[in-house]
Amino acid sequence: MTGNATTRFGNVSLLSVQSRLPGGVRTSADVQDRLAPALRRLGLPRTLLQRVAGVHERRAWAPGEDVTSATVAAGEDALRVAGVDPSDVGLLINTSVTRKHLEPSVAVGLHHGLGLPSSAVNFDVANACLGFINGMSIAAGMIESGQIRYAVIVNGEDADDIQDVTVDRLLRGDAGRDDFMAEFATLTLGSGAAAAVLGRADEHPEGHRVLGGVTRAATRHHALCVGSTDGMFTDAQALLEGGLELVVDAWKDAVAEWDWGTMDRYVTHQVSKVHTRAITEAVGLDRAKVPTTFPTLGNVGPASVPITLAHEQESLRTGDRVLLMGVGSGINTAMMELAW
CA distance 149 to 144: 9
What per-residue confidence (pLDDT) applies to 2?
60
**Dist CA 335 CA 333 (whole Å):** 7
The reply to whether 296 falls in a domain is yes
| 102 occurs within a structural domain | no
The yes-or-no answer on residue 337 being catalytic is no
Q: What pLDDT was estimated at residue 1?
A: 52
Distance CA 302, CA 5 (A): 20
Residue at 109 is within a domain:
no
| Residues forming beta bridges with residue 150, ordered by sequence position | 89
Residue 325 lies in a domain: yes
Q: How many structural domains are present in the chain?
A: 1
Task: State the catalytic residue, choosing from 76, 129, 144, 157.
Answer: 129
Tens-digit pLDDT profile for residues 210-248: 999 999 999 999 999 998 877 889 998 999 999 999 999
pLDDT at 27: 97
For the entire predicted model, the pTM comes to: 0.96
**Residues present in the chain in total:** 340
**Is the four-CA dihedral 34, 292, 267, 181 of positive or negative sign?**
negative
- The residue ranges of the chain whose pLDDT is under 70 are 1-4
Residue 38 included in any domain: no
| pLDDT at residue number 230 | 79
User: What CATH number does residue 289 fall under?
Assistant: 3.40.47.10
DSSP of 193-243: EEEEEEEEGGG-TTSEEEEEEEEEE-GGGTTSEEE-SS-EEE-HHHHHHHH
- Quote the domain boundaries for residue 270: 208-339
Sort 220 into a burial class: Cβ within 10 Å, 0-12 / 13-18 / 19+: exposed
Residue at 281 is within a domain: yes
Q: Judge whether 257 counts as a catalytic residue.
A: no
Q: With the CA atoms of 302, 281, 177 and 326 taken in that order, what torsion angle do they form, in degrees rounded to the nearest 10?
A: 10
295 within domain boundaries: yes
